[in-house]
Amino acid sequence: MTTPMQTPATDAAVKTYLRLADPSDDAAVTTAVNAVNSLMVEWFSAPIPPQLWPESKRQGAVMLAARLFRRRNSPAGVESFGELGPIYVQRNDPDLAILLGLGSYARPAVG
């Protein structure tokens, strides 16, 4: 499990979001959660206690960790095959960008 002191996402939250019950997924979930939590602290400049992370950032971190976990099923970027050929993993996720304030959804800053 990840340490809950400064992290917006937890293993339990990601497993609940993905409806995972199989303990064989625990290591992969933990790896994804640790990577996302590290990235969140880096993006937002400082460790923040979990109760102070805005709900949008916590949900965005859980969604990003879930996406990262699910990405292991499509290492070449192919999600599935349909009638018209391969369906690729979407490059950008606008829901995550909105929740995490990334890209065109970032607040304007000076300096």
* More confidently predicted of 85 and 15: 15
The pLDDT score that the predictor gives to residue 2 is 44
Average pLDDT over residues 50-57: 81
The pLDDT score that the predictor gives to residue 3 is 44
| pLDDT digit string, tens, across residues 99-108 | 777 788 777 7
Distance from C-alpha of 39 to C-alpha of 100, rounded to nearest angstrom? 11
| Phi, psi angles (nearest 5°) of residue 60 | -60, -40
Helix (H, G, I), strand (E, B) or coil at 78: strand
Average pLDDT over residues 20-26: 91
Exposure of 102 in the CB half-sphere (CA atoms within 13 A): 17
**Reported confidence tier of residue 4, pLDDT bands at 50, 70, 90:** very low
> Of 14-23, 42-51, 72-81, which one has max mean pLDDT?
14-23
Distance from C-alpha of 110 to C-alpha of 10, rounded to nearest angstrom? 33
The pLDDT score that the predictor gives to residue 75 is 67
Helix (H, G, I), strand (E, B) or coil at 91: coil
Tokens describing residue 10: 């937890």
* More confidently predicted of 17 and 89: 17
* More confidently predicted of 81 and 33: 33
pTM exceeds 0.85: no
